[in-house]
Structure 1
């Protein structure tokens, strides 16, 4: 549906060349709610603005619904843009006009007749829950209502694609949740492909099925949401994941535990799907001559699949701890040794405890 092929964008600042996008290769499939996340300056807003050519790539292709937009004439591009709706962080609404007039604007500019405009505007305002606000002015609305107007305006032309540029970052958490629920309905009921740009991993967790992580104008990691949350490969991705799925305890705690009991080892376990219900800790205590101390645990849900984290302290002989790790590995649970800063892993014969172990 949307494909970036070697897409780059450069700016000249004084005598310097700034690479906002650096040879991006990325594909968004039809029906996706695809999230692109990154810190400020990563290039994500530039990326989304190339989809409707608000930013023209310096090189490479941007293919939308099978057409390379960079090769189209102005007239052809105007027609294609009707299939691409966009909502913005700060709404981009006209305060001097009513809700109805703001939503109707794309149709008015396209010369659609008044009867059709009235019918279509009323349809989308009802869909976003603002049918009672048609004559209200923008300044009379809350932030969430303004964003609903923005969504209605983007939907009024019956687009195939909806671009969301930090669409919830100016909203409070409760309003953000309601807007994300509305976007899910847009995706399902209108069969619209959604591309979301955000710096909030909570948004990715709540709504997206696939995600790409950007840094310095490049895609550094991509995959489905469950893959990214359960096994992030880069530090940047891990930092984003840990902002919503807490799976760490303070380093000072690790160090105190090692001083208090030199025979202890600390491990992080990850459970996915039905594995969340496994009574791992009780089984280990029954089968092996070790003591288990649960330091941290939580369960979240990703794409309706449960995902759990557990950090445990194992106290016992090296050989017995090695058996425990192998037992957990055989139960199809990810296990990774956790070390305090400056501490080196013990040498366990026949095992690789410093690396993630997958069943």
Structure 2
């Protein structure tokens, strides 16, 4: 559907050259709600703007539905862009025009018949829940309503692709949720592929099925949303995940544990899918002579799959703790030891088995 092949973009202001994109390779499949996340300056806005040629790549190819827009004539580009709708962060509405006229603008520019324009605009306004606001002006609307107008305008020409440039960052959390729910409906009911860029991991969590993480103009990690949340590979991705899935023990807790001097160790137990319903902690405490103190825990849902973690303190004899860890890991549950500096290291089951054989 959308393919980026070795795409680079360099902004040249004379003395200074800024490489906004560096050899991007990425594929968005038909039907995806694909998220691109990164901090400010990562290059994500530049990336999304190359899809509809608001920015021309310096090198490489952006292939949209099998075609490279950069190789087309102006007339062909205009026709191709009808299949690409775009939603902006700050709405980009014409304040001097009514809601109806704002939504009708792409159809008017495409020289559709007046009767067809009226039917399509009313249909889309009804879909986004603003049919009663057709005669209002943007200044009479809330932020969420303005964004719904922007979405309706983007859908007016029946696009197959919808680009969302930080579409919810100017909205409050409740309104953000309603807009994301609307985007999900658009994807499901109209079968429109959505490419959304954001700096909010909560947005990725709520509606995306795949995600790419950008840093310094490069893609540093990509995969399904579940895999990225469950197994982040880079520090940047881990920091984004932590903004949604908290898994840190406050330093004050470490201080108290250290003062108790009970030779305990701290572990993070990660749960996926059906593992979330298992009474692992109680079963471990019943079976082994260890003290288990739950310090922190949460559970969330990613793509309708439960995902969560527990931070626990295990106290007792060193060998008994290792026996308990073997028992937990043997349930196909991942365990990481957590250290005072915040670092985490995966507990190696083979090492534990080896220790048991030799000890």
TM class by shorter chain equals: over 0.9
Structure 1: which 5+ runs fail to align? 354-359
Tell me what 1:177 maps to.
Answer: 177
**CA distance in structure 2 between the partners assigned to 1:51 and 1:253 by the alignment:** 48
Alignment of structure 1 residues 141-290 onto 2, 5 Å = 141-290=141-290
Tell me what 1:111 maps to.
Answer: 111
**CA distance in structure 2 between the partners assigned to 1:271 and 1:198 by the alignment:** 27
**CA distance in structure 2 between the partners assigned to 1:319 and 1:348 by the alignment:** 15
CA contact (8 A) 1:265 1:313 kept: yes
Tell me what 1:52 maps to.
Answer: 52
Tell me what 2:22 maps to.
Answer: 22
Tell me what 1:78 maps to.
Answer: 78
**CA distance in structure 1 between the partners assigned to 2:301 and 2:165 by the alignment:** 25
TM-score for both structures, normalised by structure 1: 0.95
CA contact (8 A) 1:107 1:157 kept: yes
**CA distance in structure 2 between the partners assigned to 1:234 and 1:22 by the alignment:** 18
Structure 2: which 5+ runs fail to align? 354-359
Tell me what 1:308 maps to.
Answer: 308
Deviations 1:142-191 (CA, angstroms, capped at 9, x unpaired): 11110000000000100000000000000111111110010001000000
Q: Secondary structure at the match of 1:93?
A: coil
Tell me what 1:90 maps to.
Answer: 90
CA contact (8 A) 1:270 1:333 kept: yes
Deviations 1:216-260 (CA, angstroms, capped at 9, x unpaired): 000011111111111111111111111111111113322431342
Q: How far is the alpha carbon of 1:197 from its aligned partner?
A: 0.5
Alignment of structure 1 residues 116-155 onto 2, 5 Å = 116-155=116-155
Deviations 1:116-137 (CA, angstroms, capped at 9, x unpaired): 1001111100000111111111
**CA distance in structure 1 between the partners assigned to 2:348 and 2:226 by the alignment:** 31
Q: How far is the alpha carbon of 1:332 from its aligned partner?
A: 0.9
Computed over aligned residues only, the root mean square deviation of the Cα atoms, in angstroms, reads 1.9
Deviations 1:293-322 (CA, angstroms, capped at 9, x unpaired): 000011111111111110000001211111
Matched, 1:299 2:295: no
Distance 1:46 1:266, change over 3 A: same
Tell me what 2:102 maps to.
Answer: 102
